[in-house]
Amino acid sequence: MSATMTAVDVPPPARPKRLGRLPRRLVRPATAVLSGVLLFLSFPPRPLWWLAVPGFALLGWTLRGRRLRAGFGLGYLAGLGFLLPLLVWTGEEVGAVPWLALVAAESLFVAAACCLVAAVSRLPAWPVFAAAVWILGEAARARVPFGGFPWGKIAFGQADGLFLPLAALGGTPVLGFAVALCGFGLYEALRQVIAYRATGSLPRGPLAAAALSLFLPVTAALAAQPLVSDAAEDGTATVAAIQGNVPRLGLDFNEQRRAVLDNHARRTEQLAADVAAGRAPKPDFVLWPENSSDLDPYRNGDARFVIDEAVKAIGVPTVVGAVVTPETGPLRNTLIQWDPRSGPVATYDKRHVQPFGEYIPMRSLVRIFNKDVDRVSRDFGPGTEVGVFDLAGTRVGLATCYEAAFDWAVRDTVTHGARLISVPSNNATFGRSEMTYQQLAMSRVRAVEHSRSVVVPVTSGVSAIIRPDGTIVRESRMFTPDALVAEVPLRSSLTPATRMGTLPEALLVALAAAGLGWAASGAVRRRRAATPGTANA
């Protein structure tokens, strides 16, 4: 048999070449996804805060020098890698469609920010502008649509991190900026080292900018350490956080409202018995979680009696989370200050109610995709007043659950005189997901940001008592009835972050805008230089 090959037997040369290119084309998209996954892994409950730095370094490699369209696409992949696992708890009881819809929408903000990072990536000292652009994206995501969704701010993954003191200096924007800057600076420093090894040339300006981007955030964090203090400026308070637990996981707990109320009343009465027997210190005041009474005590005499008996047993002011159901108008997610002698004496209505959870925007349209919206048969309405209760002489600021993610909602309570912050929450609908740990990390960041003790009473866990330096002194287990009692310092001084309010974020947004303007003018000059006949126009 002849071994001679015919032309038909010769494989076409283009095919292996095309197959060889395909994996290389996937490198940047895969790296974009990996960068997002690293950002996710930097969040609690994992103590891997430092993974955010290599996450931004990989993102910088992915985006630097890319066209805007490529930057948007790669950024969207990074957003999916980050937010898909981070927000999986949003579909815990309502299915995958709301979770995927939320992630798809929020990833657009990440994509837009990455598109702008690509735009500034050719500028001198580009890591500075890129980090500012990231904060610009977070600022937009925290405001629109429907009041914004700031969950997943990079700062909220840094409760155990080296950079945490920067929260006291400039709030979550400065903390997030420092992390992003360090990551982008790490990539630029490595890029300069690799270029030097390849060419033997060492450009001092770019190398100095890279080194500054890498070390400035670390130095600033160390310098901000004196701003973090848990000294008792105004004495101390002994506080109790009640976790009554729910009868079973899931949305069905709302059908057992009396059982939830009884659980919290019973655990408070047990604490009263422990105090009387000397097994626990007597608290100055008691904090119940959000939705600890889904029965309106103003309209339901039985619920009022149960609450009143529990508060009289413990004998100190108690904050009760209740659903208030007026005859007309929206429902109210309300915190009630309950006095053992006078009963309900003050209220705070949650100001930032949760879209698609406490109220349904565009209900008729959303119903087409998910009939679970009808579980919210009557929308909640927002309150308008800042929540600060005077509990046994201690001014306690109130930020209910979802509100803790918003900078303004917590800051307002401190500027209105709060010496301690309470974040009553209800996460029973999210089962044993990571949501409760993510929310607890937010409260730890807020403690350092405003130098206040923070108490987090939760229906089903994790409840916690946090000192002003962000350390947890008492913590419950999930879905376990508990009463956390601890003495915490009270403070009245204001951190730079509290005093400046939105100014640091505004300055970083202005820095991002300046970088984008510089990049745009450079692009115009390059286009003119490349177009014949326009150089002297």
Residues 6+ apart with CB under 8 A from 172: 153, 155, 156, 407, 445, 449
Tell me, yes or no, if 290 is annotated catalytic. yes
For residues 254 and 278, what is the distance between their CA atoms, to the nearest angstrom? 35
DSSP state of 256: G
Pairing of strands 453-456, 420-422: parallel
DSSP string of 123-184, one letter each residue: STTHHHHHHHHHHHHHHHHTTTTTT---TT-GGGG-TTSTTTTHHHHHHHHHHHHHHHHHHH
Helix%, strand%, coil% for the chain, nearest 5: 55, 15, 35
The pair of structure tokens assigned to 364 is: 């008729």
CA angle 328, 330, 332 (to 5 degrees): 115
Residues sharing a CB contact under 8 Å with residue 355, sequence separation 6 or more, in sequence order: 146, 147, 361
Q: Are 469 and 448 in contact (CB under 8 A)?
A: yes
Measuring CA to CA, which residue among 396, 399, 406, 408 is closest to residue 452?
Answer: 396
Catalytic residue among 153, 350, 403, 449: 350
**Whether residue 312 lies in the annotated active site:** no
Residues 92, 188, 290, 434: which is the catalytic one?
290
3-class SS string, 357-393 = CCECCCHHHHHHHCHHHHHCCCCECCCCCCCEEEECC
Encoded amino acid at 148, one letter: G
Task: Report the SS3 class of residue 232.
Answer: coil
Please give the Cα distance from 489 to 88 (Å, whole number).
36
Gap between the Cα atoms of 38 and 50, Å rounded: 9
Active site residue 114: no
271 contacts 485 by C-beta, under 8 angstroms: yes
Question: What phi and psi, each to the nearest 5 degrees, are found at residue 309?
Answer: -65, -40
Catalytic residue among 114, 115, 182, 401: 401
Residues annotated catalytic, as ranges: 290, 350, 401
